[in-house]
A and B are shown apart, each in its own frame.
Chain A
C-alpha cells in the first residue's frame, strides 16, 4: 500500500518534469551550484590522498570550521564575502597544526591507521565546537538577492553563483599552482615517489605539512560558502566528507579536472533524484550510482596505477 502510493508519487513527479521541463532547469542549476561546493572539498581530499596516502575523514569538519569562521566574523559586523580569505588563512594554520600534532605520526603507517586517527580527530573537532558554540544551527547573511528567470519559475540565489565562480577560480589557481610553482612540483614529485623525492633533496615532511594545510584551507573556503548559501552546525561535516569521498572514488586521484566534473555531476544527479524519488532516496540513489560507476571502472582501475599529474 505504502509502496503503491510512493510509486504513484514518483510517476507524478516524473510527469511534472515532462510537462513543465522548466523545473528540471531549476533542479540542474541548484545541483550544479551545490555540486561545486562538494567538488571543492573533494579536491582537497584527492590532494591529501594522492600525495600522502592518507584518507582524511576530517574533510567535513574543516568545512564546518570554515563556516564558523565566517559566521563569527559576520557577527562582528564584517561582510560574509570578505571573511572568505580569513577562513582560508585560519584553516591553513589549523591544518598545519593538526599535521604537526597528529598526522605526521601516522603518515608513513598503514592506511587504516590514518583512517582511525582522522576519524578520532573529526569527533574531537565536532565536540569541541559543540562545547564552545552549542549545537545551534547558524547561518551568515550575504545580503545578496535572487535572480528570477522565466517568470518566477526558475530562481537562482546570487550567493550560490558567487560560490560557483569562486570554486572555479580556486580550482584553476590550484591546478596552475601544482603544475608550475616549485612547491607544486615538489608536491607532485612526492606524490609519485616519496623516497625518490627525498633522494633529490625534497623535504617531504614539509611537503606533507603544506599539502595537508592547503587541503584544510580549501575546505575552509567551501565552509564559508556553505554558511552563506546553506546552514552550518557542529555536526554538519559528515555529508561533505561522504560526498568528497564518493567524488574522489569516481574521479580517481589523478586528475583534478575530473574531480570538478564528478562533483558537479553528483550534485545534479542528487538533486534530480531527490525530486523524483523523494528526499529520503537522494543519498541511496547516489550510492547506487557509485556502485554502477565502480563496476564500469573496475577493470580500468586494476590496470592503471594513478598518481597526481
Chain B
C-alpha cells in the first residue's frame, strides 16, 4: 500500500518536473540517472529517486539553477537498471549518447556505481553519486565521479574505535579484546570488513572470527555457534538488510551473549519495528541522521529536510534519500559556480566544492570522495535510535556491555 502510494507520488513528481519547462517556457538542465525500479535494489532505488526528485523540486521552486543570468529548471531522466551492473552501464551510455545528457546522478549501490563510473569517464561526463560507498570506486583514478557519502570502510570502523575507547575507560587494555566479524561476500561488505580489520589491527584487537556470508543468506547459525564458542567482545555484521534481520533474529533465538553488537542497514531492515526488544542496544552505522545539526539554504536543517520529506512521501527519510537529495544540491552549486553548462567546466567546479548541506559538509578529495563528513553510530535504546558516536553530536550515552538477551 505504502509502496503504491510512494510510486504514485514519485510518478506525479516526475510528471510535474517533465511538464514544468513547457509551461514556464524555461530552459532545462537534464540530469540523467539509471536507478533500480525492479530487482533486489528496488526499495533503496525508490528512496534514491525520492531524494533526487525532492531536491529537484525544491531547487526549481526557488527559481532553478542560474547560469549566466538565465535560470534553468532541473529535470531528471530516469531509466530502470534492473539492479544489474551490466544494464546500468548500458543505460548510462544510452543517456549520454542517445539522450545527450551532460550530467549524471549516481545509481543505487556500489556495484552499479562501479559499472557506470567507467562510462562517465569515457565520455567525460561528470557524475555525482550518493549511493556507491565502496572504496574501490575511488582507487581507479576516475576524474568524473564524485561521491557525497562516506566510503564504506568507514562504516563500522567507528564501532571498533568505540569498543577500544570503552575498554580504556574501564581500565582494560584494548589488546585483550576479541572481535568477530560476519561480512557478506559483496564489494560493499568486503570494504566494511577491510575497514574493521584495519582498525582492529590499529588497536591490537584480536580477530577471532572472520566469516563471509553468502549472498542469498537467511541462516547464519553456523557463524553464531562459533560466536558462542569463542565469546568475542565485539560482533560486527554487515550484509545489507537481510544480514541485519537474520542476525538480530538468530542472536535472540540462539541466546548469543556478546557485549557489543554493531551492524549496517538497521534502518532499512526495520529491526526496531520487527524485533522490538530483541533489537535493543544494537549499534547501527548511518551516513546521516535527522538530529544532526547541519543546515543549508535549500532545505534548512537536517530535521527540516526530514519533515518535508515525510510530508511529501509519507514516510521518514532513510539516509539513502538524504544523501541522494544532497547530490542534486551539489550539482546545482557546481553548475552555478562554473557559470557554464560545459561538462568539463562543471567537473572542475565540482572538484572545488566546499559547502555545507543539511546532509553534512561536502569537500571532495582528488579521488572524488567526500572527506568532510564522518559516519555516525546510533544505538537502539528504548525502541529508538539514539546518536552515541561521534562524541561531538552524541545525544545519548552508549549502553555497554549489552545486557544478556
Contacts and interface: CB of A to CB of B under 8 A. Distances in A.
A30 B218 contact: no
Interface of A: 9, 13, 16, 20, 23, 26-27, 30, 34, 127, 130-139, 141, 146, 148, 152-153, 155, 157, 226, 230-236, 238-239, 271-275, 278-280, 282-283
Given A278-B212, A279-B220, A26 B225 contact: yes
B227 to A, nearest CB: 11
A275 B225 contact: yes
B303 interface: no
Q: Top 10 closest A-B pairs, CB basis?
A: A274-B222, A280-B212, A157-B253, A230-B218, A137-B245, A30-B221, A279-B211, A275-B222, A231-B218, A239-B216
A131 B3 CA distance: 9
Nearest to A127: B38
Interface stretch (B112-120, B156-164, B267-275, B289-297): B267-275
B255 A136 contact: no
B222 A136 contact: no
B249 A139 contact: yes
Contact of B222 (A130, A131, A135, A282): A282
A283 B230 contact: no
5 contacts: A136-B269, A137-B245, A148-B255, A230-B246, A280-B214
Interface string B214-253: 1011111111011011100000000001101110010011
Most buried by A among B182, B214, B244: B214
Contacts of A275: 222-223, 225-226
A16 B230 contact: yes
A145 to B, nearest CB: 9
Contacts of B213: 279-280
B8 interface: no
Interface in B336-394: none
Contact of B218 (A20, A146, A236, A279): A236
Nearest to A27: B225
Contact of A231 (B41, B46, B228, B249): B249
Interface of B: 3, 38-44, 46, 182, 185, 210-214, 216-223, 225-226, 228-230, 241-242, 244-246, 249, 252-255, 257, 268-270, 274-275
Contacts of B244: 137
B3 A133 contact: yes
A239 B185 CA distance: 15
Given A136-B241, A137-B241, A230-B249, A152 B42 contact: no
Given A136-B241, A139-B274, A235 B225 contact: no
A283 B214 contact: yes
Contacts of A274: 222-223
Nearest to B225: A26
Contact of A153 (B219, B228, B268): B228
Contact of B255 (A155, A273, A278): A155
B185 A280 contact: yes
A133 B42 CA distance: 10
Given A23-B228, A279-B211, A279-B212, A152 B255 contact: yes
Given A26-B225, A135-B41, A279-B222, A235 B216 contact: yes
Given A23-B225, A130-B39, A148-B255, A136 B214 contact: no
B222 A132 contact: no
Contacts of B185: 280
A301 B182 CA distance: 40
A148 B254 CA distance: 9
A278 B220 CA distance: 10
A26 B218 CA distance: 18
Contact of A23 (B217, B229, B249, B252): B229
B43 A135 contact: yes
Nearest to A232: B218
Given A130-B39, A155-B255, A282 B214 contact: yes
Given A23-B229, A271-B221, A134 B3 contact: yes
B225 A238 contact: no
A41 to B, nearest CB: 14
B46 to A, nearest CB: 8
A191 to B, nearest CB: 31
A271 B211 contact: no
B273 to A, nearest CB: 11
Nearest to A238: B216
B43 A134 contact: yes
Nearest to B38: A127
A271 B214 contact: no
A195 B136 CA distance: 60
A134 B386 CA distance: 27
Contacts of A273: 222
Given A231-B249, A274-B223, A279-B182, A135 B40 contact: yes
Nearest to A26: B225
A135 B241 CA distance: 10
B222 A27 contact: yes
A137 B38 CA distance: 15
A134 B228 CA distance: 34
Contacts of A27: 221-222, 225
Contacts of B245: 137, 139, 231
Contacts of A157: 253-254
